[in-house]
Amino acid sequence: MFTNKKRTYLLLIIIILLAIGLRFGAMVNRSFWYDEAFSILISEKGPQAILAGTLTMDEPSVTADIHPPTYYFLLDGWMRLFGRSILAARILSLLLGIGILINIFLLTRELLGDPTALLASLLVAIFPFQIQFATEIRMYALLTFFLTLATYAFIKALRAHKWPWWVLFALSAALAQYTQNLAAFYLIPLALTSLFTHNGKHIRNTLFAGLGAVVLYFPWLIHLPAQFAKIQHHYWVERPTLSALVNLLLRYTTNLPLPDKSLLWALLIAFVCITLAAIQTVKAVIQKQPDYKIGLWLLWLAFAPPLLLWFVSQWTPVYVDRALLASGALFCVWLAWVLLKTSMPKAIQWSMAVILVVGVGLGLSQLATNNGYRFDPLKKVETVLMAEIQPGDLVVHSNKLTYLPLFYYDPTMPMNFVGDEPGGSTDTLSKATRKILGVNDAPDIESAVSGAQRIWFVIYQESVSEYIQAGYETHAHLKYLNEHYNLISQSSYGNVLLYLYEQKP
């Protein structure tokens, strides 16, 4: 016979194994893309190069990169132990994702007991939003790990009244900021919750712990003005509209992107689940049900950070939904509280559970079949080029997005890319970083192809479609090549187009 404690840990292990299986499937199926290539290429250069690529001033008061270095340092050490393969690098994110799940279990158990903790952990394990972004070779899994750890330490500190928990809170909050600057948009609402307790000691301890986190973060804090200038002048994020908040609800439940035929169903699932959960929360508050304050707190952390980020982004666009994984995890805890800790009628409870399962299935199906999963188009292009390229040939990329993954696959291949317009919103690969990585760029298509007899040209289909939708006959780079070279062949691999041109006599 299992005791309740042993049964709980057995079920937690099963949930962890399920989480590993789903995440591993996403890891091996998804395509390799620009940001992941950048993470590997900059990390393998070592700590000194990482700092140079982050802090070097390309222009007065403008840093080379906008992200703090903690994740790159960690990935560098990880790759020294386990190699620089894509799978090895993604396994680091997988392990961090399991750490997130454990943090959520500990937090929910502290607040609501074992059954709710197991359900919250299960939701974190299976929700597509958590699977997609917590398995890529970027800093968001590490960010979410530190933020959920800070949340658990914060609750333990408020309840246990022991200083080691406040130290852990300050340390994990500082590490979250060293991982991604947007951590502050979660940490501020988290710290503000001490005001809701109307306890002077809680407020004072939170203030001191927050100041401790700021002191720990100060060596990097002094670089924020330069990084902020970089965001203002050279950042790809657009100012979010109200549709971003609707997309957030879809992210939390079914995830995005979704095919058009599924979008209406996804909206219906998100609306029904969140409406039912909101109604139950209001009822719990009105009826003063047990743990209703916890439910409100979970709702606060699920939606206050994205709303704060959205409002700030009306001034300076920084709204990146990948940075909201921690709030997404607290959303899972909120749903678990609604399902198990409120007086929801059984029929509605089971109906909501079934609707959630359908939404999760919709999102997981999209992860398994979306373009880029189970097929890496850029890897296929690299294989074709290696087989067919001839001495004297040159591979030219329309931009850095296709170049950098192929540079990771084969840095010896003769190729370059057309650089971004200096100072434009897409000009995110700075001169200092390009020098550290050792990549080759050209200011325009004419310079990129200069002197080559045969050109292999690589471009995303979306880039061509944008030009056509704007009223042009084709992309400007293709127009130049068609005028000055003979087109020998054209192939498509997923959403990547590969052209072979030969210089006209």
Q: Parse the chain into domains and list their residue ranges.
A: 4-225+240-369, 377-503
Half-sphere exposure of 401 (CA within 13 A, CB side): 16
C-alpha R_g of the chain:
25
Nearest-10 Cα torsion for 189, 428, 175, 170: -30
Please check whether residue 486 is in contact with residue 504, taking contact to mean a CB–CB distance below 8 angstroms: yes
Query: Phi and psi dihedrals of 487, rounded to 5?
Result: -80, 120
Q: Bridge-partner residues for 489, per DSSP?
A: 500
Bigger pLDDT: 58 vs 137: 137
The Cα–Cα gap between 439 and 433 comes to 9
pLDDT at 169 (0 to 100): 98
Q: Average pLDDT, whole number, for the chain?
A: 91
The Cα–Cα gap between 20 and 130 comes to 12
Indicate if the pLDDT at residue 227 is higher than 90.
Answer: no
CA distances to 63, 175, 430, 468 from 232, rounded to whole Å, are 12, 24, 15, 29
Report, as an integer, the average pLDDT of 69-87: 96
* Cβ neighbours, 10 Å, residue 420: 18
Read off the pLDDT band of 61 (50, 70, 90): very low
Nearest Cα residue to 304 out of 197, 180, 181, 190: 190
pLDDT at 243 (0 to 100): 94
The Cα–Cα gap between 350 and 345 comes to 9
- The SS3 assignment for 442 reads strand
- Give pLDDT tens digits for 260-315: 888 999 999 999 999 999 999 999 999 999 999 999 999 999 999 999 999 999 98
Nearest Cα residue to 125 out of 266, 257, 15, 248: 15
Q: Considering only the top CATH level, what class is 377-503? A: alpha beta
- The SS3 assignment for 420 reads coil
Please check whether residue 416 is in contact with residue 43, taking contact to mean a CB–CB distance below 8 angstroms: no
Give the global pTM: 0.94
pLDDT at 435 (0 to 100): 85
Nearest Cα residue to 18 out of 115, 116, 121, 109: 121
Please check whether residue 146 is in contact with residue 176, taking contact to mean a CB–CB distance below 8 angstroms: yes
Read off the pLDDT band of 223 (50, 70, 90): low
Percent of the chain with pLDDT over 90: 75
Peptide linkage before 68 cis (omega within 30 of 0): no
Indicate if the pLDDT at residue 374 is higher than 60.
Answer: no
When mean pLDDT is compared across 58-72, 98-112, 369-383, the lowest value belongs to 58-72
For β-strands 496-503 and 485-493, DSSP reports them as antiparallel
